[in-house]
Amino acid sequence: MTVRVENEGPEQLMKFLGAAFIAFALTVFMPGQADAQMGPDYWKVTGVASDDTLNIRSGPSTRNSVVARAPNGAIFRNLGCRGTGTDRWCHLETPDGRVNGWAAGRFLAESGAPNQGNISGSNDVPELHVRNTGEMEVRYASGCTVLYNPAGRRISAGSSCSQAQLSRAHDAVDGYTREQAGSDNHSAGAPSADVRMSGSGLISNDQSVVTGSINGHAEGHYALVLVGEGATCTGLLEHAPGSVGSEATSIHCTNGAHGSAILGQNGGLLTFSLTNGTAGFVKF
């Protein structure tokens, strides 16, 4: 197609050139192009030390939080990369779509389609995934799954899990919690306290006993655990009990229920209510 502009006046010519530039800019600088999928369909984790794992983060920077950890050989779907060289970060997700995050590109190599199972394809490699609630789930390709509360205590384990797998899962969670404790940044002069609290109370529906505990090692990391009626519920408190006014947090239970808990201003009384109608209190 030929476009004739030589007979147009200056004003019409400028309009034409302006429209052409806008079209070019939209094509070249369209937002999101930096993350466009380029390269292989799948990445494989490589180059990580044999006793270490690759951090999968919520964004393309070491400042972003870790959402999962993967060993050498783990397979991810390629969602696109940005940056170059040592500053290259790649957006990726597990083949089943359960984990989505970013990883340093220098630890990724082109790969074929993955095996079935967990992202590593190995029955003996534990893979740790952190939920939004702070709970930690360790998976094996064999089907074994182990769930831990935010304090690192085991909540449940699949019937297919062997003792060796449970032991490796414990080591993975212990290593992760220690790493997170070492990387936490606190403002100068911010209070830090070791908390070990336990108590008991009643479930108002049937007056059955419920026990509770709050454990933590530093400001911002206090795990709440409630046990009653055959279920365990966990949550995460941001402040040491009694250091601030009353604090509310969400809780999630092993029986599928969820709800909220409120710790009173002096840290001595906690009330809770769940979506299944269960409610009660714990005195510490």
Q: What does the pLDDT read at residue 217?
A: 63
Residue 10: its pLDDT value, please? 55
Cα distance from N-terminal residue to C-terminal residue, the chain: 81
> 131: which 2 tokens?
């939920």
Per-residue pLDDT of the chain (284 residues; tens, 9 = 90+): 444 444 445 565 455 455 555 444 444 344 334 455 556 778 889 998 877 888 999 999 888 888 888 888 888 888 888 886 678 899 998 877 778 899 999 999 888 766 544 444 444 677 888 877 778 888 877 677 888 888 888 888 888 788 888 888 888 888 777 777 665 544 333 344 577 888 898 888 778 889 998 887 654 467 888 998 888 888 888 777 777 667 888 888 888 888 888 888 677 888 888 888 888 899 88
Report the pLDDT value the prediction gives residue 185, as an integer from 0 to 100. 45
Q: Amino acid identity, residue 55?
A: N
pLDDT of residue 103: 93
**Pair 148, 155: CB distance under 8 Å:** yes
Q: Say how far apart CA 51 and CA 47 lie, in whole Å.
A: 11
CB atoms within 10 A of CB 89: 22
What pLDDT is recorded for position 39? 67
Integer Cα distance of 225 and 235 in angstroms: 7
Q: Is the dihedral of CA 186, 189, 191, 192 positive or negative?
A: positive
Distance CA 148, CA 187 (A): 29
pLDDT for 171: 83
Q: Give the per-residue pLDDT at 151.
A: 80
276: DSSP letter: T
| Alpha carbon distance 59, 78 (integer Å) | 15
Q: How far is CA 200 from CA 210, 236, 262, 272, 274, in A?
A: 6, 18, 15, 13, 18
Question: Where do we find the tokens 């010519």?
Answer: 13
Amino acid (one-letter) located at 60:
P
SS3 content of the chain, % helix, strand, coil (to 5): 15, 40, 45
